[in-house]
Amino acid sequence: MDIHRIREFELEKVSLIEEFDILQIVGEGWFGKILLVEHKATDTEMVLKALPKPYTSLIDFYREFHYALQLGKHKNIISVYDVAFETAGFYVFSQEYAPLGDLTSNVSETGIGELHTKRVAKQLASALEFIHKKGLVHRDIKLDNVLVFKSDFSRIKLCDFGETRPVGSVVMRRNEWLPYAAPEILQVATDDSYICDTCQDVWQFGIVIFVCLTGCLPWQKAANDDPRYVRYHSWQSSSLPIIRQPKLFKLVSTKAQRFFKRFLEPNKERRPKYLKDVYRFLEDRWMAKGMEKTNETLNEEDGLCPSMYSFHSSPQEKNKLLRTLTEYGLETTVDRNAKKDRIRKWIENSVIMEEEESFEEELDDEDEPKVSVRTQTIMNVNRQKRHERRRHFVENRRRTKTEQPYRPPVDPRLPLQMQKTCIESRCSNTAKEEAPKKIVNVLPFKNVSIEPGSPPTTSSDSAISSDSCSTVRHTTDEVGREIKISEVKDLIHNRLKLV
């Protein structure tokens, strides 16, 4: 089958809650949600990638699913099952589960070590070679898209083919993650177009390997306003030994420096288009002597080793946190049933409301051809199951009718300037809605008016109402009347005494 011919087919409509037990929300981003689920019928754990319909065209979904399915034959590329469907709000396909997460959650501040880095480099280069031979460019090589299946990194797999395009395709520059973007891409203005090439994957490959080896990003972005990159560019392009070596590259050996100079070549014309030369560097020593265990002795004024990864999956950090929580008497166990209920409610609230469908056509079986008793029985059972699923769907939709549908904050496909305009307009609308409250609204009387003019001398004189005045006057009259009655009583009593 031609890999460049995108297969299109009719997607079956499925109720996510009825077909799967949702165990965990693995991740959530601009373009989708990653869910760890268990299929109820087969008790099989799998990962579902759900792409929201408002921001994902059907052809984009078909493209990503097609490339992932075709490229998954390679041992170092994630296996995608031939299962794709749609729900009320998402396009969904399934893939295998990576129990140890991605490289982001496995790289510490000192990297993963030379041995493990070489294993990652060998497997990742093999996966990219396979993709490039198919005439494709991945365009999104980063720590988050490299999944780990074994703790010794002997089995890693590349994933996420949402940005994959054929070599030579004209694409728009959007919101690329700056630390991984090649310098020729950063020279293109946002929303302008450029031609994608395999040498851009080679650059991103070099960044990933550098982070695995040292635990640090070499720079924040490959542009002239980044001092680290400017220093590297000057050192990389010069053949004179007097040029000061960047401090980060002192962590690695001379042969490893040649490795990075080759694959992190700023000039795209001189940068390799393929990774076949990686294997000849694997036998060399990569870490400089004395730098195998730590790189904490190096510090730069502008900040070394920017934090671009998480420590939440580190066993040491987890045990330390759990111990602290236990000491203070805090519960550290998870109620899985309550967790499932919260996830189920979240999924139900994410459903995009649609018009109710008419099911009368399916009930009408007058035009159906004559079939055997066995076939008719099977059809009746399937029809009953289908009606039951739809009945549950309608009930769930009625229960969540008042809930807001899932809407990502801003459409990431819009040009950057338009995204900023949307955000600014939303903020201004929010500010208008949240108008400051007037003091009249919080006064104790309903019919209160504030008199303009000179300021009151006391706080009690600041607000006068007709209701309050009448109340005070009425109270004063009653007090006076009681005083007069008391005086009359005293007078009569005294006169009686005289008599």
56 touches 20 (CB < 8 A): no
| 3-class SS of residue 431 | helix
Only one residue has tokens 């090439």, namely 197
Distances (CA, A) of 182 to 143, 169, 205: 16, 17, 11
Please give the distance of CA 415 from its chain centroid, rounded to a whole number: 20
**Nearest C-alpha neighbor of 210 from the set 218, 202, 201:** 218
Smallest Cα–Cα separation from 205: which of 270, 247, 260? 260
Known binding residue 276? Answer is no
Amino acid at 153: F
Whole-number Cα distances in Å, 184 to 131, 201, 233? 22, 12, 13
Total residues found in the chain within this entry: 499
**Between 198-214 and 254-263, two packed helices, what is the crossing angle to 10 degrees?**
150
According to DSSP, residue 259 is labeled H
CA angle 278, 284, 285 (to 5 degrees): 125
Please return the burial class of 494, using the count of CB atoms within 10 Å of its CB with bins 0-12, 13-18 and 19+.
exposed
Known active-site residue 140: yes
* Dist CA 394 CA 196 (whole Å): 46
Collapsing DSSP states into helix, strand and coil, what is residue 469? helix
Of the candidates 102, 140, 197, 226, the residue annotated as catalytic is: 140
Distance CA 214, CA 147 (A): 19
- Give the C-alpha distances (Å, rounded to integers) separating 189 from 98, 175, 194, 415, 417: 36, 11, 10, 11, 12
The identity of residue 293, as a single letter, is K
443-459 core/surface letters (b: 16 or more CB in 10 A; e: else)? beeeebeeeeeeeeeee
Nearest partner of 158 among 131, 185, 136, 134, judged by Cα: 131
What is the Cα–Cα distance from 141 to 156, expressed in whole angstroms?
A: 13
CA–CA separation, 146 vs 103, rounded Å?
6
DSSP one-letter string for 6-68? ----PPEE--HHHHEEEEEEEEEETTEEEEEEEETTTTEEEEEEEEEGGG--HHHHHHHHHHH
Q: Which residues are annotated as a binding site?
A: 49
List the catalytic residues: 140
Q: Which residues are annotated as a binding site for ATP?
A: 49
